[in-house]
Protein backbone atom coordinates (compact mmCIF):
# COMPACT_ATOMS: atom_id res chain seq x y z
CA UNK A 1 0.00 0.00 0.00
CA UNK A 2 1.24 3.49 -0.86
CA UNK A 3 2.29 5.91 1.85
CA UNK A 4 1.68 9.62 2.20
CA UNK A 5 4.15 11.73 0.24
CA UNK A 6 6.98 13.42 2.13
CA UNK A 7 7.59 17.15 1.77
CA UNK A 8 10.75 16.50 -0.30
CA UNK A 9 8.77 14.21 -2.62
CA UNK A 10 6.10 16.89 -3.02
CA UNK A 11 8.75 19.49 -3.87
CA UNK A 12 10.32 17.12 -6.40
CA UNK A 13 6.97 16.36 -8.02
CA UNK A 14 6.03 20.04 -8.16
CA UNK A 15 9.31 20.84 -9.94
CA UNK A 16 8.62 18.00 -12.37
CA UNK A 17 5.08 19.26 -13.03
CA UNK A 18 6.26 22.83 -13.61
CA UNK A 19 9.06 21.67 -15.94
CA UNK A 20 6.67 19.52 -17.97
CA UNK A 21 4.14 22.35 -18.08
CA UNK A 22 6.80 24.78 -19.33
CA UNK A 23 7.96 22.31 -22.00
CA UNK A 24 4.40 21.75 -23.25
CA UNK A 25 3.77 25.49 -23.49
CA UNK A 26 7.00 25.94 -25.46
CA UNK A 27 6.05 23.09 -27.83
CA UNK A 28 2.63 24.66 -28.30
CA UNK A 29 4.21 27.94 -29.41
CA UNK A 30 6.52 26.13 -31.83
CA UNK A 31 3.68 24.09 -33.34
CA UNK A 32 1.34 27.04 -33.86
CA UNK A 33 2.49 27.63 -37.44
CA UNK A 34 1.58 24.08 -38.46
CA UNK A 35 -2.01 24.40 -37.23
CA UNK A 36 -2.98 27.29 -39.51
CA UNK A 37 -4.99 27.00 -42.72
CA UNK A 38 -3.36 25.31 -45.68
CA UNK A 39 -3.00 27.69 -48.60
CA UNK A 40 -4.45 26.69 -51.95
CA UNK A 41 -1.75 27.67 -54.41
CA UNK A 42 -1.69 25.30 -57.37
CA UNK A 43 1.35 27.07 -58.83
CA UNK A 44 3.74 26.25 -56.01
CA UNK A 45 2.09 23.29 -54.32
CA UNK A 46 0.75 20.31 -56.21
CA UNK A 47 -2.30 18.30 -55.17
CA UNK A 48 -0.29 15.65 -53.32
CA UNK A 49 1.82 18.26 -51.59
CA UNK A 50 -1.33 20.05 -50.45
CA UNK A 51 -2.78 16.77 -49.16
CA UNK A 52 0.46 16.18 -47.27
CA UNK A 53 0.28 19.70 -45.81
CA UNK A 54 -3.33 19.09 -44.75
CA UNK A 55 -2.33 15.82 -43.08
CA UNK A 56 0.49 17.58 -41.23
CA UNK A 57 -1.97 20.28 -40.18
CA UNK A 58 -4.39 17.67 -38.79
CA UNK A 59 -1.60 15.92 -36.89
CA UNK A 60 -0.44 19.26 -35.47
CA UNK A 61 -3.99 20.06 -34.37
CA UNK A 62 -4.38 16.64 -32.71
CA UNK A 63 -1.08 17.13 -30.90
CA UNK A 64 -2.22 20.58 -29.76
CA UNK A 65 -5.43 19.06 -28.36
CA UNK A 66 -3.37 16.50 -26.40
CA UNK A 67 -1.12 19.26 -25.07
CA UNK A 68 -4.14 21.30 -24.01
CA UNK A 69 -5.55 18.28 -22.19
CA UNK A 70 -2.22 17.56 -20.50
CA UNK A 71 -1.83 21.21 -19.46
CA UNK A 72 -5.31 21.15 -17.92
CA UNK A 73 -4.43 17.98 -15.97
CA UNK A 74 -1.24 19.67 -14.74
CA UNK A 75 -3.17 22.76 -13.62
CA UNK A 76 -5.55 20.52 -11.67
CA UNK A 77 -2.60 18.70 -10.07
CA UNK A 78 -0.99 22.01 -9.04
CA UNK A 79 -4.32 23.17 -7.61
CA UNK A 80 -4.62 19.89 -5.67
CA UNK A 81 -1.10 20.50 -4.32
CA UNK A 82 -2.05 23.97 -3.14
CA UNK A 83 -5.17 22.57 -1.45
CA UNK A 84 -3.28 19.69 0.20
CA UNK A 85 -5.18 17.05 -1.79
CA UNK A 86 -2.36 16.03 -4.11
CA UNK A 87 -1.17 12.44 -3.89
CA UNK A 88 -4.56 11.10 -2.80
CA UNK A 89 -6.81 9.18 -5.17
CA UNK A 90 -9.81 11.21 -6.30
CA UNK A 91 -11.87 8.00 -6.53
CA UNK A 92 -11.14 5.95 -3.40
CA UNK A 93 -9.11 8.36 -1.24
CA UNK A 94 -6.07 6.07 -0.95
CA UNK A 95 -2.54 7.42 -1.28
CA UNK A 96 -1.17 7.36 -4.83
CA UNK A 97 2.23 5.65 -5.03
CA UNK A 98 5.19 7.99 -5.45
CA UNK A 99 6.51 5.86 -8.36
CA UNK A 100 3.21 6.41 -10.21
CA UNK A 101 3.42 10.15 -9.65
CA UNK A 102 7.03 10.19 -10.85
CA UNK A 103 5.85 8.68 -14.13
CA UNK A 104 2.73 10.86 -14.39
CA UNK A 105 2.78 13.71 -11.87
CA UNK A 106 -0.68 14.79 -13.02
CA UNK A 107 -2.24 11.42 -12.10
CA UNK A 108 -5.33 11.90 -9.93
CA UNK A 109 -6.24 8.27 -9.31
CA UNK A 110 -4.35 5.30 -7.89
CA UNK A 111 -3.38 2.31 -10.04
CA UNK A 112 -6.31 0.26 -8.76
CA UNK A 113 -8.90 2.91 -9.71
CA UNK A 114 -7.17 3.62 -13.03
CA UNK A 115 -7.85 0.04 -14.09
Question: What is the pTM for the complete model shown?
Answer: 0.74
Hey, what domains does the chain have and what are their CATH numbers? Answer: 7-114 (1.20.120.910)
User: What digits encode the pLDDT tens for the residues 64-114?
Assistant: 899 999 999 999 999 999 999 999 999 999 999 999 999 999 999 999 999
Task: Give the angle subtended at the CA of 21 by the CAs of 56 and 102, to the nearest 5°.
Answer: 110
Higher pLDDT, 18 or 33: 18
Please check whether residue 30 is in contact with residue 73, taking contact to mean a CB–CB distance below 8 angstroms: no
40 confidence band (pLDDT: 50, 70, 90): low
User: 16: closest CA among 77, 63, 66, 59?
Assistant: 77
Amino acid sequence: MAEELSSSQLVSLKKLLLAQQSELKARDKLGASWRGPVELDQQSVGRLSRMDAMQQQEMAQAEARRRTSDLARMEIALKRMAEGEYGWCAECGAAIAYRRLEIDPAAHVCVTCAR
